[in-house]
């Protein structure tokens, strides 16, 4: 195997909200690359857009990463050699670097007011030209610029794009060579009037200062990349430019944009809905990457072992909830009953707090788990699948109690005989129950289909349930007999 150089990669979210799947997938790919190469995964908070900052978003980002098991080696809370890792705490560095560019004539102060810029853009729109800065302050004589700056006039710093009629080219690992015409790149702002850097400046300065080797991010940043390349050159850092890897966006199931229902909910919402982090990690890894175009189930360790940047595809992957649910079911079935019980506890406790189900306990849930494990696709389905194990009384549907092929009178008699037979059993085990009940079916000449269906409704309240005899064994003798009585009573009322 080729010895890989340990990579230094970063996930650099802006705290403008809770991350969703499309977004946190970027963190996953970076994390996988760091772990695969034995390098470092860095979390950097890009909070320089003050107006878009959202209270609690940074905590939500960290919570999402923690839940998915994407631990960061450097960043908020854990620190590291390049601390701080929150951009608003690094302002002097950006100011210093911006000043360096102004000093070397690569950037300039711009005094244009918002109103003037708006009027300029409106005029450009009327002429059907793309909106871009018209260079007014680029042409100011030096003395005037100095006078206005010294006079305290509000200003921003703009990068002076060389505009030589050339192309700005960079290599992208997914798409190969990408070129932009320098005429199409406006003199962009690098330092705002409030002293905060723009994304472009802060991102490049930090990637450089933090010795980032690979920039792995969504393809929506491709159009920013030529600006970054120009900055690397202006700073004289072009030799240490990171490798760029722009991943295809994740689309909704209809190949449209991700929507609230499909992928764009916060990652933590998936936790609430009972997805396992392992399943989500596996699912997200396949949104844009593949092992061999056919393997679907790949655990975390294998992902780390086999992950490669070369196998990131250029075509967008569609978010498919059906597939995620299926995958989650696979991971649920891989859990031991003990583990699954632990994972289900919060969901059932929450349900119990609402319903006050009197028989709920961890030990009873532990007995129920093997009966529902096969059928679960999401942990939050458990209360609906298993509630009858934990409640006292069931609400019967008289129609269900007398299934087709068993008229109400016959059903009532059959349940009465069943009650007699099972109450006489010495042991209350699935085997004993099955022996007794099958024997009775023979004796009474009842078809097992409708007959078992009738008992099933009597002890579970529903027509579909886990295997009948195991279910009865777990519910216990006392409650099963009481339920048979209640069902007989219900059928009597129906007849009256």
Specify the 3-state DSSP secondary structure of 304: helix
Contact 307, 247 (CB under 8 A): no
Q: Output 25 or 412, the one with its CB closest to ligand GLU.
A: 25
Among 46, 206, 219, 380, binds ligand GLU (CB under 6 A): 46
| Adjacency order of strands within the sheet including 176-181 | 40-43, 8-11, 214-218, 243-247, 167-172, 176-181
Site stretch for ligand GLU (CB under 6 A), options 7-15, 306-314, 429-437, 466-474? 7-15
Contact 241, 270 (CB under 8 A): no
Upstream peptide bond of 173 is cis (omega within 30 degrees of 0): no
Task: For the CB of residue 362, give the shortest distance to ligand GLU in the complex, in Å.
Answer: 42
* Placement of tokens 């509000």 in the chain: 154
According to the binding rule CB under 6 A, does residue 58 interact with ligand GLU? no
Site stretch for ligand GLU (CB under 6 A), options 6-14, 99-107, 189-197, 310-318? 6-14
Scanning residues 425 to 484, which ones bind ligand GLU (CB under 6 A)? none
According to the binding rule CB under 6 A, does residue 47 interact with ligand GLU? no
Q: Output 9 or 422, the one with its CB closest to ligand GLU.
A: 9
Task: For the CB of residue 203, give the shortest distance to ligand GLU in the complex, in Å.
Answer: 5
Of 146, 149, 257, 260, catalytic: 260
Task: For the CB of residue 87, give the shortest distance to ligand GLU in the complex, in Å.
Answer: 9
Distance in angstroms (rounded) separating the CA atoms of residues 51 and 285: 32
Task: For the CB of residue 58, give the shortest distance to ligand GLU in the complex, in Å.
Answer: 12
Q: Output 46 or 97, the one with its CB closest to ligand GLU.
A: 46
Q: Which of 80, 77, 141 is nearest to 109 (CA)?
A: 141
Site stretch for ligand GLU (CB under 6 A), options 11-19, 356-364, 373-381, 471-479? 11-19
| Strand boundaries in 259-398, DSSP class E | 317-318
According to the binding rule CB under 6 A, does residue 217 interact with ligand GLU? yes
Run of H or E including 147: helix 142-150
According to the binding rule CB under 6 A, does residue 12 interact with ligand GLU? yes
**Active-site annotation holds for 490:** no
According to the binding rule CB under 6 A, does residue 377 interact with ligand GLU? no
Specify the 3-state DSSP secondary structure of 387: helix
Q: How many residues does the structure list for the chain?
A: 496
According to the binding rule CB under 6 A, does residue 204 interact with ligand GLU? no
Contact 23, 250 (CB under 8 A): no
According to the binding rule CB under 6 A, does residue 282 interact with ligand GLU? no
Specify the 3-state DSSP secondary structure of 322: helix
Q: How is residue 158 written in tokens? A: 């703009």
Scanning residues 220 to 259, which ones bind ligand GLU (CB under 6 A)? 221
Among 7, 8, 9, 14, binds ligand GLU (CB under 6 A): 14
Scanning residues 105 to 134, which ones bind ligand GLU (CB under 6 A)? none
Distance in angstroms (rounded) separating the CA atoms of residues 458 and 85: 61
Region label for 79, one of left (φ > 0), alpha (ψ between -120 and 50) or beta (otherwise):
left
Among 58, 203, 373, 418, binds ligand GLU (CB under 6 A): 203
Task: For the CB of residue 428, give the shortest distance to ligand GLU in the complex, in Å.
Answer: 59
Distance in angstroms (rounded) separating the CA atoms of residues 240 and 224: 18
According to the binding rule CB under 6 A, does residue 205 interact with ligand GLU? no
Site stretch for ligand GLU (CB under 6 A), options 9-17, 142-150, 277-285, 379-387? 9-17
Q: Which of 106, 95, 14 is nearest to 60 (CA)?
A: 14
Q: Output 25 or 378, the one with its CB closest to ligand GLU.
A: 25
CB atoms near residue 327 (< 10 Å)? 22
Task: For the CB of residue 92, give the shortest distance to ligand GLU in the complex, in Å.
Answer: 20
Specify the 3-state DSSP secondary structure of 157: strand
Residues with catalytic annotation? Answer: 260
Site residues (vs ligand GLU, CB under 6 A): 12-14, 46, 199, 203, 217, 221
């Amino acid at each position: 195997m080729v010895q890989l150089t340990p990579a230094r990669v970063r996930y650099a979210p802006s705290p403008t909200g809770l991350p969703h799947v499309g977004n946190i997938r970027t963190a996953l790919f970076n994390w996988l690359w760091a772990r695969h190469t034995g390098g470092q995964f860095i979390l950097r908070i890009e909070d320089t857009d003050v107006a878009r900052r959202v209270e609690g978003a940074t905590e939500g980002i960290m919570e999402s990463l923690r839940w998915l098991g994407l631990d960061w080696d450097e960043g908020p809370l854990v620190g590291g050699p390049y601390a701080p890792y929150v951009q608003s705490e690094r302002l002097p560095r950006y100011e210093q670097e911006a000043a360096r560019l102004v000093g070397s004539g690569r950037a300039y102060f711009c005094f244009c007011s918002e109103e003037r810029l708006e009027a300029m853009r409106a005029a450009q729109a009327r002429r059907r030209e793309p909106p871009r800065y018209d260079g007014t302050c680029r042409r100011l004589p030096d003395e005037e610029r100095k006078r206005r700056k010294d006079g305290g006039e509000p200003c921003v710093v703009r990068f002076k794009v060389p505009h030589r009629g050339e192309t700005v080219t960079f290599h992208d690992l997914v798409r190969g060579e990408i070129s932009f015409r320098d005429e199409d790149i406006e003199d962009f702002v690098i330092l705002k009037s409030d002293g905060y850097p723009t994304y472009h400046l802060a991102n490049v300065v930090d990637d450089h200062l933090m010795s980032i080797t690979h920039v792995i991010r969504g393809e929506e940043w491709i159009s920013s990349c030529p600006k970054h390349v120009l900055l690397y050159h202006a700073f004289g850092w072009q030799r240490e430019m990171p490798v760029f890897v722009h991943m295809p966006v994740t689309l909704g199931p209809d190949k449209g944009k991700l929507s609230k229902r499909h992928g764009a909910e916060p990652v933590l919402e998936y936790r609430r809905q009972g997805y396992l982090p392992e399943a989500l990690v596996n699912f997200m890894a396949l949104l844009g990457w593949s092992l061999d175009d056919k393997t679907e189930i790949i655990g975390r360790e294998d992902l780390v072992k086999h992950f490669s940047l070369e196998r990131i595809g250029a075509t967008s992957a569609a978010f498919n909830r059906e597939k995620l649910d299926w995958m989650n079911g696979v991971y649920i079935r891989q859990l031991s009953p003990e583990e699954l019980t632990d994972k289900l506890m919060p969901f059932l406790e929450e349900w119990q707090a609402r319903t006050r189900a009197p028989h709920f306990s961890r030990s009873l849930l532990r007995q129920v788990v093997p009966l529902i494990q096969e059928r679960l696709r999401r942990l939050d389905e458990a209360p609906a699948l298993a509630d009858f194990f934990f409640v006292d009384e069931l609400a019967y549907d008289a129609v269900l109690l007398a299934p087709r092929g068993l008229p109400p009178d016959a059903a009532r008699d059959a349940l009465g005989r069943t009650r007699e037979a099972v109450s006489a059993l010495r042991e209350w085990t699935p085997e004993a129950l099955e022996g007794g009940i099958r024997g009775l079916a023979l004796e009474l000449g009842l078809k097992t289909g409708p007959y078992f269906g009738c008992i099933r409704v009597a002890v579970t309240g529903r027509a579909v349930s886990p295997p009948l005899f195991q279910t009865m064994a777990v519910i216990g003798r006392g409650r099963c007999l009481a339920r048979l009585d209640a069902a007989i009573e219900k059928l009597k009322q129906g007849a009256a």
